[in-house]
Amino acid sequence: MNANFNFRYLRNIESSFQLVRILVIVIVLGCIGVASWVAYLSYKTNRESREKIYVLDNGGKSIMLALAQEQNTNRPAEAKDHVKTFLKLFFNQEPDEKAIDANMKQAAYLGDESITRHYLDLREKGFYTKLLQGNTIQKVMIDSVSLDMNKSPYYCTINARIMLVRATNITMRKLIADCYLIDATRTDNNPHGFVIERFRVTDNSDIETINRDHYEGHRP
């Protein structure tokens, strides 16, 4: 009697252990499954967030949401806007020393030392001094920005005109320049993620100088 009781008791203990082992295995597998699912959702969410980039458009006046798979399509437009933004910062100038310094500081974020070198060259020639003394306003009118995006660094050619507005006359100048662009990290100061390299002006000759009264008298 005691032998049968002990045998049944041992069988019950063994069955209980087996049940506990099964429960433990089920719980462990369940935890692994839940952890795997959470890890997958986290990876998916992180990947989707990385696939969305914010692009400053129209000189930083508006923001559009673009998908990463469309980045190659948007990249040429971003590159052109990067160059146009630089041209406006560098060549649109008021007869205000602080405004000139602020523009040049911001323009320097968009390119390499060739930009700073061109600025220093103009300053050494007294261009900005004449701008301040003559109370002259300078404006750039961009005609075209052409890019070759087939090979990095991307070659860029610029055709534009510069208008110098003085108290008595207006001078129009030709601006032909070229440079190279390389991809860079997007920052607050460089939202398009490009850096201008080897910027050079190849033609900045005068087109014409006209009397301001004559010019304004023929404005529509």
In a domain, 30, yes or no: no
Is 170 in contact with 163 (CB distance < 8 Å)? yes
Q: How confident is the model at residue 7 (pLDDT cuts 50, 70, 90)?
A: very low
Is the pTM for the entire model greater than 0.75? no
Query: Which of 55, 124, 49, 132 is CA-nearest to residue 95?
Result: 132
Task: Give residue 170's pLDDT.
Answer: 95
Among 23-27, 86-90, 118-122, 196-200, the minimum mean pLDDT is found in 23-27
> What total number of domains does the chain contain?
1
Strand 169-183 to 154-165 pairing: antiparallel
In a domain, 150, yes or no: yes
Mean pLDDT of the chain: 83
Q: Which domain holds residue 203?
A: 74-217
In a domain, 15, yes or no: no
* Mean pLDDT, range 42-46, rounded to an integer: 69
Query: Which of 79, 53, 77, 85 is CA-nearest to residue 183?
Result: 79
Euclidean distance between CA atoms 169 and 163, whole angstroms:
10
In a domain, 33, yes or no: no
- The CATH code of the domain that includes 118 is 3.10.450.230
Q: Where are the beta strands (DSSP E) in the chain?
A: 52-57, 62-67, 137-148, 154-165, 169-183, 194-203, 206-211
Q: Phi and psi of 96, rounded to 5°? A: -140, 115
- 55-103 pLDDT, tens digit each: 555 444 444 444 444 556 689 999 999 999 999 999 999 999 999 999 9
- 164-176 pLDDT, tens digit each: 999 999 999 999 9
Strand 137-148 to 62-67 pairing: unpaired
Query: Which of 197, 209, 4, 181 is CA-nearest to residue 77?
Result: 181
